[in-house]
């Protein structure tokens, strides 16, 4: 397995018998999630074949876009773009293909106008991802992008350059039929933040040139592990953090010493924050990228309130080297680093941080990944989504709905006059 979990940094906070009992409960919940059709909102994708998710069609269109596009715009917000973005930002550095731009995730006129200026004179394709096409951000961005494209392309060209991903029967589906846009199905049972293994996540990573088969292989490995191993990483993680939560640890910070995992942390924040934050319950999800954030948050983590869980995402092999060569004539007093690779230095900083924070009374959980690649993402996404579903059940909240976010939407729509306008 490329993903493992180390809980040594938590064991002093709860006794072994309690942990084993919690694991047993968590595993029972996991098996229910794996078999109960009523839980398809998190795992509904598991019965989807490649043909059911239009796999070959997506691959063919992705190849066309990679050949013809200078820019590929992903129009989505939250669960509609986070999983794909995390992978693309972490892995695309070594890939050729179009520039990937993200819209539909801001209402900033400055950002939108500057992005449109940046696209001027370039070959542009867009993928609009919106489950029900009712969210303000992607809806408004799609309108301004269509207006921008109408001035530069014929109707037929636009039909070829616009892809929409939504649910069958939605207004987005109707728009696709009316205009000849390629329509990719957003499976109805699957919630946005659990959609990494559907066309929502698969098509953008295909366009980015990532190995989607390796990604799905990682998913399959993790799913098999969850079905066969009672103390797999998903169960272990859910059990440990729930025990800590019961003891008053109500903030969790996901940290990594690899900055390319920043958007993975953002995806994790939404996954757990939106799934658990209900009925005045839940662990507040935060994140940091070390070592930079050690110089802003390290003091608080070390000596602040003792209600914080620190979860490390550690990478064994970064697949890169950067060796510091001796420079005896410079006299900078960093000669102790001579001949060291930055990965050696990075891991020393990581180990020192874990030891210091543990000594300061911070329970530390560590996910260990062999390397950052597509298979790792498939495994990790699966374990974390399963853990999130289990964790919600342990807290006795519904981990699949998000009624709370509808409140600000209703208020926003009222202010904007939606009720009085068609």
Q: Which residues are catalytic?
A: 274, 295, 409
Pairing of strands 3-6, 364-371: antiparallel
Closest CA to 4 of 236, 342, 195: 236
Token couple for 132: 């029900």
Separation between Cα atoms, residue 322 and residue 345, nearest integer Å: 10
CB neighbourhood size of 332 (10 A): 7
Q: How many residues in the chain? A: 422
Query: Is the bond preceding residue 291 a cis peptide, omega within 30 degrees?
Result: yes
SS3 of 261, please? helix
Indicate the SS3 state at residue 181.
coil
- C-alpha span between 374 and 290 (Å, rounded): 22
Distance between CA 172 and CA 133 in Å, rounded?
Answer: 6
DSSP letter assigned to residue 153: S
164 in Cβ contact with 120 (< 8 Å) = no
The pair of structure tokens assigned to 342 is 């930055």
Helix, strand, coil shares of the chain as percentages rounded to 5? 55, 15, 30
Say which residues have a Cβ less than 8 Å from residue 119's Cβ, sequence separation at least 6: 71, 73, 101, 148
Q: What is the distance between the alpha carbons of residues 131 and 166, in angstroms, rounded to a whole number? A: 5
């Amino acid at each position: 397995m490329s993903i493992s979990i180390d809980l040594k940094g938590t064991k002093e906070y709860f006794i072994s018998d309690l942990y084993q009992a919690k694991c047993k409960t968590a595993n029972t919940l996991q098996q229910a999630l794996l078999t109960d059709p009523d839980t398809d909102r998190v795992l509904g994708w598991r019965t989807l074949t490649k043909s059911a998710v239009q796999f070959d069609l997506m691959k063919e269109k992705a190849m066309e876009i990679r050949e013809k596009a200078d820019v590929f715009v992903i129009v989505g917000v939250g669960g509609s773009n986070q999983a794909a973005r995390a992978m693309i930002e972490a892995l695309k550095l070594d890939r050729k293909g179009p520039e990937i731009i993200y819209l539909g995730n801001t209402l900033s006129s400055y950002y939108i106008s500057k992005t449109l200026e940046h696209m001027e004179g370039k070959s542009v394709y867009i993928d609009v991802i919106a489950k029900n096409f009712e969210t303000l951000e992607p809806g408004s961005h799609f309108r301004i992008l269509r207006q921008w494209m109408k001035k530069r392309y014929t109707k037929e060209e636009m039909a070829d350059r616009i892809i929409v991903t939504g649910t069958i029967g939605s207004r987005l589906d109707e728009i696709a039929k009316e205009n000849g846009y390629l329509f990719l199905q957003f499976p109805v049972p699957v919630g946005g933040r659990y959609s990494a293994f559907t066309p929502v996540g698969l098509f953008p990573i295909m366009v980015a040139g990532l190995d989607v088969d390796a990604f799905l292989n990682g998913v399959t490995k993790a799913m098999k592990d969850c079905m066969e191993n009672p103390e797999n990483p998903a169960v272990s993680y859910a059990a440990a953090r729930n025990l800590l939560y019961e003891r008053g640890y109500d903030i969790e910070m996901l940290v990594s010493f690899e900055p390319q995992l920043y958007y993975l942390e953002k995806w994790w924040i939404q996954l757990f924050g939106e799934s658990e934050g209900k009925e005045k319950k839940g662990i507040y999800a935060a994140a940091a990228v070390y070592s930079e954030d050690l110089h802003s948050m390290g003091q608080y983590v070390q000596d602040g309130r003792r209600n914080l869980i620190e979860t490390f995402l550690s990478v064994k092999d970064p697949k890169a080297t950067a060796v510091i060569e001796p420079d005896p004539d410079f006299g900078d007093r960093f000669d102790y680093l001579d001949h060291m690779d930055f990965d050696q230095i990075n891991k020393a900083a990581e180990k020192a941080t874990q030891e210091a924070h543990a000594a300061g009374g911070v329970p530390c959980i560590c996910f260990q990944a062999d390397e950052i690649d597509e298979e790792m993402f498939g495994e990790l996404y699966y374990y974390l989504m399963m853990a999130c579903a289990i964790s919600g059940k342990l807290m006795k909240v519904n981990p699949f709905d998000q009624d709370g976010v509808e409140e600000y939407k209703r208020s926003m729509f009222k202010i904007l006059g939606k009720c009085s306008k068609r």
